[in-house]
Structure 1
Amino acid sequence: MSGATIAPALPAMQVHFADTPNAALLVKLALTILGIVIAVTAPLFGVLADRYGRRPVLLASLALYVVGGGSGLIAQSLGAVLLGRVVLGLAVAGTMTAAGALVNDLFSGAARGRFLSQQAAFNSFGGAVLLPLGGVLAAVGWRAPFALYLAAALLLPLLLRLPRGIPGDAPDPAAPAQAPRWGAITLVYALALGYMIVFYLMPAQGPFLLRALNANPGLTGLMLGSSTLMAAVTSLVFSRFAGRFDPRRLAGLGMLVVAVGWLLVFRAPGLGVVEAGLLVAGLGGGLIFPNLYAWLADLTPPAWRGRVTAGMSSAIFLGQFLSPLVLAAPAGHEAQGFAAGAALAAGMGVLLLILTAVFRRAEGLPQHA
């Protein structure tokens, strides 16, 4: 909910701050500045998580989340709203990085794959519930959606129960140093960035395409939410089979399924086929991130988990920022963006399947698993 929860409130916020110079631009910046802050600062939190431990970084970041997220309830100027969004971006960078490293500390093998799939499912379920709730609250007033961020305070007592001696809080100086496999890690980052560019077509250009097909705002929200729900269900079902298949191959197959979904959206003559395309894309999307994260975890030495996870956070949010720029489509021709997205997803899927076969041959693994 960190980024888009306040999106329905932006028009009313612009009216409220109409006397502020460049209000239209600054109000939109309140939504997009989050991704840039996260992409830039996540590596710093990765260093802190590896040096001082996951628990203190999580506690500090979650406290910042409550303060920065809820600041819009009392902000008296547009500048104050933007400052709160910057603080929220710092908080998200810290929580994503430290929590991701902690997952790798506490789980391994098939258990880690199951947990990552369940985590991806709850990410999607959270979006499906909280984002429409933000729209409901926006009807009350532009400040109301900011109250949702205060819910994060409920997690602080749970974090305080984490034992101080959990893995990652005190690196073992006697453990032999391992160097990360930066070539493969960079490939994972590139795939995550590329997938986010493709995925963000849905919230960035989907509403305009649906409006051109005469969908009202309520129907638009339901249709976009259905894709997120499909991704959640896919991730949850897949969690029961995690560890049985090569995560690289499954991520590649997920990319190809997303490509089919966006191709359906591109060719859709009406809303029914668009909905089918969104569901197919959600089906594929539910396979991608759990398997990319599982692959990344296999590549990461324990002492580097915070920093390597931070790089993944940067790639994801940089992809969100770049999506409207890389896959921009002229007004009235929004479907063209989905055609380009389908081509990009298909290219990444084919490349990943080929590379997986090469990797498995080099590792001496059977080709069918």
Structure 2
Amino acid sequence: MNQLVSSGRAAGAKQGLIIQLASSLTIMGSVMIAPMLPKITMEFAAKDPGSVDIIPLIVAAPALAIALFAPIAGVLADVLGRKRMLLIGCLLYALFGALPAVIADLKIIVLSRLLFGCAEAIIMTCCTTLIADYWAPADRMRYINRQVITIGVVGALFFIIGGIAGEGSWRTPFFLYLAPLLIIPSVILWLWEPDRRAEETSVPNRPQQKIASTVAGSYFLIFAGMVTCFVVTVQTPTVLVGLGVTSTSLIGAAAGLAILCTLLGSVAWPFVRERIGVARVNAFLLWFMACGLFVLSLAQSYPVVLVAMVLQGFGAGFLVSNASLPLLMKLPVGLRARGIGGFTSSLYLGQFASPLIVAVIATPFGGIPRGLSTAILIWGCMTAFIGLGWLLVSFSESRHHVQAHHS
């Protein structure tokens, strides 16, 4: 039975669907607009050639805003309430998301995208926190995984929808950001603010040191994991061009294969986690992703790059669910939203930092593209080393469990 932890109200499939759909709004932030960048560049570069340098911010600005604002969103959700902040986030998402469709100034468009990212931070933080608020620990694992799968499926769909909508004008896809207005009535009718005081009295206090180590481990894992994910996402087109593959269809097919494998990894996650535990899954997923980087760095043909996409994508499918699960299980209710806010910030900081980290590593080897393969190989080694650290953590946890059982 899916029983709400903090009150007598029962949360079930209806609440789960609303939260999953609201969560998927965050992936729409970038996937719908990325295919429009060539058209946006053509229009603004014709008027002002210097604008070419800031056009990529239309895609990148929301991720930076999420990374910076998510901790604040978490604090606000803990203080003002999850449902209230979710409604505010949906309204701001629709307002700032659709604004570029009707304004002509490029700098104002970029500003609107930064504010749009703040709205995304609110939505993602509140939705993930509500999963922990509404469901008992045994059910949280299932709903957090459904959230990850829904985001992946919606992202793939809206990558296509955005491209189709933008055939006539690059402004048209921005009107799709009005979608949250359709979700708001469901949020008002079928979601509720959890009674956090009831849960505070029913959940035993945990040592502060244990909570701090859980938070630090989850934050570090999601940051490093997202850096690795975006090495593949951002650098694969450059690798393919270096191999003589310039077809956008072939490059897109490689990205699509990675997304498919990520979804497969998300589906497999509950079964693998149940058998080997969270810490060993961390080692497993990092080693899969590291193998993907090793193959990508050495690839000499398109089929070999596809092998790298399979390895990296499958490992990435475990990442978000496994990294966030300890937070959802162990954070006290009064700190839960701000803890999830920090997690969301670390996730998007990893995305934002990934190309910068690769560029720094590549610099001594001739920069990009000359030193790209070496940089990818070096970061792959670092990813594998972090995976080894998590394996040692799993051995330590197993030893503590055995000692506790005997005592």
TM-score, normalised on structure 1? Answer: 0.91
Alpha-carbon distance, 1:305 to partner: 0.6
Q: Secondary structure at the match of 2:300?
A: coil
How far off is 1:167 after superposition?
4.4
Report the alpha carbon displacement of residue 201 of structure 1 after superposing the two structures with TM: 1.4
Task: Give, in whole Å, the separation in 1 of the partners of 2:261 and 2:195.
Answer: 34
One of 246, 269, 274 as aligned partner of 1:238: 269
Q: Quick one: distance in 2 between partners of 1:320 and 1:65?
A: 21
Does residue 41 of structure 2 align to residue 14 of structure 1?
A: yes
Q: Which amino acid aligns with 1:197?
A: V
- 2:247 corresponds in structure 1 to 216
Q: Structure 2: how far apart are the matches of 1:69 and 1:275?
A: 34
| Gap regions ≥5 residues in structure 1 | none
1-structure distance, mates of 2:106, 2:82: 33
Aligned length: 366
Residue 166 of structure 1: how far off its partner (Å): 2.9
The answer to whether the 8 Å contact 1:201/1:337 transfers is: no
Q: Which residue of 2 aligns with 1:201?
A: 231
Q: How does 1:316-331 map onto structure 2 within 5 Å?
A: 316-328=347-359, 329=362, 330-331=368-369
Cα 1:173–1:315 shift into 2, 3 Å: closer
Within a 5 Å distance, the mapping from 1:35-184 to structure 2 comes to 35-168=63-196, 179=208, 181-184=211-214
Greater alpha carbon shift after TM alignment, 87-96 vs 325-334: 325-334
Q: Hey, what's the Cα distance between the residues in 2 that align with 1:31 and 1:366?
A: 50
Give 1:194's aligned amino acid: A
**Match for 1:64: what amino acid?**
L
Q: Which ranges in structure 2 are unaligned for 5 or more consecutive residues?
A: 1-27, 363-367
With over 3 angstroms needed to count, the CA separation of the structure-2 counterparts of 1:324 and 1:199, relative to structure 1, is same
Which runs of structure 2 are paired with 1:312-351 in the superposition (5 Å)? 312-328=343-359, 329=362, 330-351=368-389
Given the superposition, is the C-alpha separation of residues 269 and 163 from structure 1 closer, same or farther in structure 2, using an over 3 Å criterion? closer
C-alpha distance in 2 between matches for 1:45 and 1:145: 27
CA distance in 2, matches of 1:171, 1:185: 23
Deviation, 1:243, is 4.4
* Contact 2:358–2:372 (CA under 8 A) maintained in structure 1: no
Give me the whole-angstrom Cα distance separating, in 2, the residues matched to 1:59 and 1:231: 30
**Deviations 1:76-105, CA, capped at 9 Å, x for gaps:** 211221122012111111011111111111
Match of 1:284 in 2: 315
Q: Deviations over 1:173-199 (max 9, x none)?
A: 767766471133112101111111110
8 A Cα contact 1:34 1:85, kept in partner: yes
Q: Please tell me the root mean square deviation across aligned C-alpha atoms, in Å.
A: 2.4
Aligned to 1:75, the other structure's residue is in SS state coil
**1:260 alignment partner in structure 2:** 291
More moved, 189-198 vs 13-22:
13-22
Aligned counterpart, 2:23: none
Fraction of identical pairs, as percent: 27
Change (3 A) 1:275 1:172: closer
Identify the range of structure 1 (2-11 vs 96-105) with the bigger mean alpha-carbon deviation: 2-11
The residue type paired with residue 331 of structure 1 is P
What do residues 297-355 of structure 1 show as CA deviations (whole Å, max 9, x unaligned)? Answer: 23311111100000001101111111001012412553334313321221111111111
Amino acid in the other structure paired with 1:212: G
Native 8 Å contact 1:106 1:167 kept in 2? no
The AA in structure 1 aligned to 2:242 is A
Q: Do the aligned partners of 2:77 and 2:337 also contact (CA within 8 Å) in 1?
A: yes
- Among 291, 295, 300, the residue aligned to 2:331: 300
| Pair 1:80–1:35, CA change in 2 (3 A) | same
Distance 2:397 2:68 in 1: 31
Residues 100 and 174, structure 2, Cα contact 8 Å, conserved in 1: yes
Distance 2:130 2:120 in 1: 15
Q: Deviations over 1:13-38 (max 9, x none)?
A: 12322334731122112222212211
Q: Distance in 1 between matches of 2:136 and 2:184?
A: 26
Instruction: Indicate how the Cα distance of structure 1 residues 288 and 185 shifts in structure 2: closer, same or farther if over 3 A, else same.
Output: same
Whole-Å separation in 2 of the counterparts to 1:132 and 1:235: 21
